[in-house]
Amino acid sequence: MHSELPNIVTVLEGFFPQAHWVKYLLIWENVFFALLIVVFLTVIAYLGSRKKTIVPANRLQTAVELFVSVVDDFVCGILGRQGREFTPFIGTLFIYILCMNLSGLIPFLRSATSSLSTTFALALCVFFYVHFAAMKKLGFIGYIDHMMNKPRGAMAATVILPVFMFLMHVVSELIKPVSLALRLRSNIFADDTLLMALSSFGLKGLPLLLFCTFIVVIAAVVQALVFSLLSTIYFALFLIEEPEH
């Protein structure tokens, strides 16, 4: 049973209950709706960059360039000038999550981010990219040194303490993607469940439904922003040099 409003896939299930392709869609329901957002964003990106001019000639190009500028300022404000390398990743992450969050408000669509499989996949992308970027910048030895909390002097001589710090750091890094995934999934799932419950009240619950829809839109933006912000901070923890004392 679905704890959400009907969507394209569940409607098709009602019309074709025995069809194997519908059962296949049900199994890959979250991937289907996530890919719909990919197609939508691909079309927007193509239309926004198809006829680029130095002075934007249409509103779509203006909106796209404004979004890129805001994300670039946001990322570089945390990571410094080196942050521009990660602007495409963080920007794509934000707009992709935001669109998936909001898609649940569109009739016959659903939020793919209400599924843990989707949010965990996103969190794993952040996890692997962060560590790849860290190893690329610091080198393998520098990366291990950072994971050991840069032991020096007597601290390094103990051996046990650096190894302990390394293990603690590994555990904390493994917890980060789990935390990212659970935070996003839980909030979006709760929002979708709330709207489904209110919609069952009929016309009597319409005012409350409209009010909660407005709150859910704000929450969708906030959750996409929080995911992107935490991802940027994870980059910063590896890439920003701590001042020497």
The average pLDDT across 32-50 equals 90
Residue 1 pLDDT exceeds 50: no
What φ, ψ does residue 4 adopt, rounded to 5°? -135, 175
Residue type at 222? V
What would the two tokens of residue 193 be? Answer: 């469940």
pLDDT of 245 reads 40
Average pLDDT, the chain: 87
Please write the tens of the pLDDT for every residue from 217-232. 999 999 999 999 999 9
196 Cβ partners below 8 Å, 6+ apart?
3, 4, 5
Residue 241 pLDDT exceeds 90: no
Q: What percent of the chain stands above pLDDT 70? A: 93
pLDDT of 71 reads 92
The average pLDDT across 53-81 equals 85
Q: Which of 14, 25, 189, 115 is nearest to 197 (CA)?
A: 189
Domain spans of the chain, in order of start: 68-239
**Lowest-pLDDT choice from 1-5, 16-20, 160-164:** 1-5
What would the two tokens of residue 195 be? Answer: 């709207």
Instruction: Tell me the pLDDT band of 244, cut-offs 50, 70 and 90.
Output: very low
Residue 5 pLDDT exceeds 80: no
Please write the tens of the pLDDT for every residue from 84-141. 899 999 999 999 999 999 998 888 899 999 999 999 999 999 999 999 999 999 899 9
Q: Which of 232, 229, 224 is nearest to 130 (CA)?
A: 232
pLDDT of 58 reads 77
Residue 18, SS3 per DSSP: coil
**CA-CA distance, 104 to 242, in Å (whole number)?**
42
pLDDT of 242 reads 58
**CA-CA distance, 129 to 134, in Å (whole number)?**
8
The average pLDDT across 55-81 equals 86
Residue 4 pLDDT exceeds 80: no
Please write the tens of the pLDDT for every residue from 175-213. 999 999 999 999 999 988 888 888 878 777 788 888 888
pLDDT of 3 reads 53
**CA-CA distance, 70 to 57, in Å (whole number)?**
20
- Going from the C-alpha of 127 to that of each of 39, 59, 72, 225, 235, the distances in angstroms are 25, 35, 21, 17, 9
